[in-house]
Amino acid sequence: GRIQGHLDSDLTEEGISQAIACGQHLAAEPIEAFYSSDMGRAQHTARLIAESMNRRPALSAIASPALRERAFGEGEGLTYTEMDATFPEAFSRERAVDEHYAVPGGESKRQFHDRVTAALGELAQDDELGDLGPVRGVRRGAGAHAVAQGDGHVVGSQDVEDLVDRDPDPARAGG
């Protein structure tokens, strides 16, 4: 696939199916609100998840630019192979990289982590929201690491693919 970053794109048929399955999987969870990146594909995913939960009234996603995916600047639109060849310091699936390195026009892993963690902390402290209770993070791709490695505001976080491929609750999975 290609690195999206802040480029927006439509969900694929697979992405749509995964979002619907994710909503069905989460239907019994006590979810009261969705917070999402303001990118179209993230909003579409959140809307499909919410609709698939069959709640009345339906939940809606609250969009925040602070929850956007990592910005890859000049690397956006490249394949992972092209990114690794052009900007080997940015990231690699095979080796550790400098968390402070940013592709020109993008943000580093550290900046991304700090931005998303701060946004989650602000949500948790927002007086207008009241007590959110436990927050369940559902994310795709690179956002997984920023959310999962947050500072304690998120108590459970799984990639959409993980939710639809296997059930983390052995009692519900029959095992």
Report cis status (omega within 30 of 0) of the bond before 104: no
Q: Could you tell me which of 85, 87, 108 has the C-alpha nearest to residue 98? A: 108
* pLDDT per residue as tens digits for the range 22-79: 888 888 887 777 788 888 888 888 888 888 888 877 777 788 899 888 899 999 999 9
Rounded CA separation 73/16 (Å)? 27
- Using one digit for the tens of pLDDT, what is the confidence trace for 134-162? 555 555 554 443 343 333 434 344 455 55
